[in-house]
Chains A and B, each alone.
Chain A
């Protein structure tokens, strides 16, 4: 019997080597693997006017890939494995195919499908979002509905939250996306190659480093480019600085949301210090312009590395003290503890990734399980005593901050001198090939997947942000919680709207 093919993170394979299944057999296979395995990629693509679906599954530390011709309708996989939910909805939205029996078949980003097929959702795209589609409704005399967004009360991205409440208690939260949709996947294919790294950096700016690395690794694999160990060190340093900035910022935001303002102010300022270190490396506070296929393109010398070293030595005790202040304050603990619990079963069933997953007993960490860049030389991030609640998500952030500092110390000691490099963005890519790259971004597993045609032209560029898995986790966390606890739960996940909407 045909089996899925083991592949390696960041290594190109010939598309001809990928097993092509009959769809019914493919479905059975995926259901079998996803009993204990997880979805890295599950998306459609057109080749020679035929529609295919490609899956990359993760089973422990193995990656398995395969594809099948996709029929216009097929029995939904979500019924048996909820982790397919958003993947199947995306497939229906982009290609107009119908997963039969899908329990909640709604669009994700509100866009007409790419094949000019009749719309699966019955939307009329001449009407502005939100169009005409139902929200999950709870009925009863005491039930009321709360609608928030797309324009929120703070300086944040747009999205829509619909709560079904009984008094203060949230029975159900439905999250609607699409407001940030910029058409990135198709823009990456149709625009000139020299624009690609810039589009990639702007998929989600707070994950610019992880996205650039994922893109670069893919182009390096398809173009046969090698990266110097020094450049790899600089890229890993940049990724860790991005992680630190975001985790520190989020701990501050969580503190602010329970009205404990001193750490909120301190962390807010310290977050900026990490952005300034990225500015030192790249000239941009989010590291944009630094990482390109083949390595890095800006010079990093002794001076920059010494400045980073001095700064992190100064910041580490400050952060330790702020974390201690935050996580020992009983007013904070009484809000964080037992709040917004995502059970192990829910996290497993939905396939949560990253710190949010690890807070709910999912040990998966791409740095440990599929190491690339310098991660094979770095110690794994300690992971213990998850409790599934806001406190667990805060503690994981704190542990990751400490781990990032350890990693930076090792990386900075190994040196990472790089030069200014001017390299054209026109790499000749391997024809009829496929590559999947996986990196542990600060929110969790980020994956890019590229397919090329016989001329080495990219025919499909798929991006999957960790938020694609984790938004469902936030909805689960709110079940049976008070609606007033939504802000701290939201901050404890701090998911990406633009990474989701693409």
Chain B
């Protein structure tokens, strides 16, 4: 018992002040890209050719954040002339098409969220997470929200074991052919009104697995999605911001 107290004392209080106080991520973190529209067309073409995810449209100089893995190749290839990645982790969007940006800015999530969700779930939100393929990073960084550093339950948001107890599903992974029916069963088991969240490049667009016959082209090709959270995986702060901004 003494050891428990001693270790507890050593560990101290670790929960971050976000969202009351801003968090600054290290410069190496690649968040919301800033696009330079005055960039030479040739440089944009070079970036588009180097992108492993085909997410740069060289015609209008836009990036699809729903496909982007935030690997930073385009920044290195263009030497920062076409794109630089900022440390802004606020990437959530209520509409798929808004994730395709040629300015590097996203509309405020709060303005685009469905108002009735705020009313229904603003004070208490229970989500059922469904992993439908993917690499387990998205799940790992959702789990992190339950650690003392983020302490998600202080916002009245928690992840529950049964879809029957949930207000919605939080889906990760490219929806493999072998997970599709289990995912739909979990979705059907959530009582309406329900919310659907697609988290990570895989759930939004198939991610790095696009083109494989074993995965879908994204969750919204199967069921309608209310909230998209980009990243590979989304930083826990990206998820936290999206949940707070969309529901609170």
Which A residues fall within an 8 A CB radius of B?
A: 109-111, 128-129, 150-151, 153-158, 178-184, 186-187, 190-192, 194-195, 197-199, 201-206, 208, 262-263, 265-266, 268-269, 271-272, 275-276, 279-286, 288-289, 297-298, 304, 318, 321-322, 324-325, 328-329, 420, 422, 424-425, 496-498
Q: How far is the CB of B114 from chain A (nearest CB, A)?
A: 24
B176 to A272, Cβ gap below 8 A? no
A157 to B139, Cβ gap below 8 A? yes
Q: How far is the CB of A498 from chain B (nearest CB, A)?
A: 5
User: Range of interface residues on chain B?
Assistant: 35 or more
A155 contact from B129, B174, B181, Cβ within 8 A:
B129
Knowing A157-B139, A268-B146 are in contact, say whether A187-B7 is a contact too (CB < 8 A).
Answer: no
Beyond A198-B208, A304-B28, 15 additional contacts (C-beta under 8 Å) are A157-B134, A158-B182, A182-B174, A183-B213, A184-B212, A194-B50, A204-B135, A268-B146, A272-B144, A283-B72, A286-B233, A324-B3, A329-B3, A424-B50, A498-B135
| CB nearest to A193 among chain B residues | B52
Knowing A155-B131, A183-B214, A206-B136 are in contact, say whether A281-B28 is a contact too (CB < 8 A).
Answer: yes
B8-16, B36-44, B101-109: which lies at the interface: B8-16
Q: How far is the CB of B83 from chain A (nearest CB, A)?
A: 14
Which A residues touch B14, using CB under 8 A? 269
Which B residues touch A150, using CB under 8 A? 179, 182
The 6 A-B residue pairs with the shortest CB-CB distance, nearest first, are A205-B137, A205-B135, A183-B214, A153-B161, A268-B147, A202-B135
Q: Which of B160-192 contact A (CB under 8 A)?
A: 161-163, 173-174, 176-183, 185-186
Kindly state the separation between the CA atoms of A206 and B144 in the bound complex, as whole angstroms: 14
Interface CB pairs A-B, < 8 A, 13: A110-B178, A155-B129, A157-B136, A180-B176, A181-B177, A202-B202, A262-B8, A279-B25, A282-B28, A284-B232, A286-B233, A325-B7, A498-B136
Q: How far is the CB of A382 from chain B (nearest CB, A)?
A: 25
Knowing A183-B215, A497-B136 are in contact, say whether A195-B178 is a contact too (CB < 8 A).
Answer: no
Kindly state the separation between the CA atoms of A425 and B209 in the bound complex, as whole angstroms: 18
Answer yes or no: B110 CB below 8 A from chain A CBs. Answer: no
Which B residues touch A203, using CB under 8 A? 135
B147 to A284, Cβ gap below 8 A? no
Kindly state the separation between the CA atoms of A204 and B131 in the bound complex, as whole angstroms: 13
A-B contact count (CB 8 A): 196
Q: Which of B25-84 contact A (CB under 8 A)?
A: 25-26, 28-30, 50, 52-53, 69-72, 76-77
Q: How far is the CB of B160 from chain A (nearest CB, A)?
A: 9
Q: How far is the CB of B86 from chain A (nearest CB, A)?
A: 12
| CB nearest to B169 among chain A residues | A151
Flag B152-165 by CB within 8 Å of A: 1 or 0 each.
00000001011100
A283 to B131, Cβ gap below 8 A? no
B178 to A179, Cβ gap below 8 A? yes
Q: How far is the CB of A4 from chain B (nearest CB, A)?
A: 34
Answer yes or no: B130 CB below 8 A from chain A CBs. Answer: yes
B182 to A151, Cβ gap below 8 A? yes
B148 to A269, Cβ gap below 8 A? yes
| CB nearest to B177 among chain A residues | A181
| CB nearest to A307 among chain B residues | B26
Kindly state the separation between the CA atoms of A186 and B213 in the bound complex, as whole angstroms: 10
A180 contact from B134, B147, B185, B186, Cβ within 8 A:
B134
A422 to B76, Cβ gap below 8 A? yes
B135 to A128, Cβ gap below 8 A? no
Answer yes or no: B133 CB below 8 A from chain A CBs. Answer: yes
| CB nearest to B69 among chain A residues | A198
B214 to A111, Cβ gap below 8 A? yes
Answer yes or no: B245 CB below 8 A from chain A CBs. Answer: no
A286 to B131, Cβ gap below 8 A? no
Kindly state the separation between the CA atoms of A199 and B134 in the bound complex, as whole angstroms: 11
Which A residues touch B146, using CB under 8 A? 268
Which B residues touch A497, using CB under 8 A? 136
Kindly state the separation between the CA atoms of A181 and B211 in the bound complex, as whole angstroms: 14
B211 to A321, Cβ gap below 8 A? no
Kindly state the separation between the CA atoms of A208 and B71 in the bound complex, as whole angstroms: 14
B70 to A284, Cβ gap below 8 A? yes
Knowing A265-B147, A283-B72, A322-B7 are in contact, say whether A178-B178 is a contact too (CB < 8 A).
Answer: yes
Kindly state the separation between the CA atoms of A279 and B138 in the bound complex, as whole angstroms: 15
Kindly state the separation between the CA atoms of A297 and B71 in the bound complex, as whole angstroms: 11
B209 contact from A182, A197, A282, A318, Cβ within 8 A:
A182
B28 to A262, Cβ gap below 8 A? no
A289 contact from B72, B161, B162, B233, Cβ within 8 A:
B72
A279 to B28, Cβ gap below 8 A? yes
Answer yes or no: B142 CB below 8 A from chain A CBs. Answer: yes
Kindly state the separation between the CA atoms of A496 and B137 in the bound complex, as whole angstroms: 12
Knowing A183-B215, A199-B209, A422-B77 are in contact, say whether A325-B136 is a contact too (CB < 8 A).
Answer: no
Knowing A206-B140, A272-B144 are in contact, say whether A195-B7 is a contact too (CB < 8 A).
Answer: no
Knowing A158-B182, A194-B50, A283-B30 are in contact, say whether A288-B71 is a contact too (CB < 8 A).
Answer: yes
Which A residues touch B134, using CB under 8 A? 157, 180, 202, 205, 498
A179 to B71, Cβ gap below 8 A? no
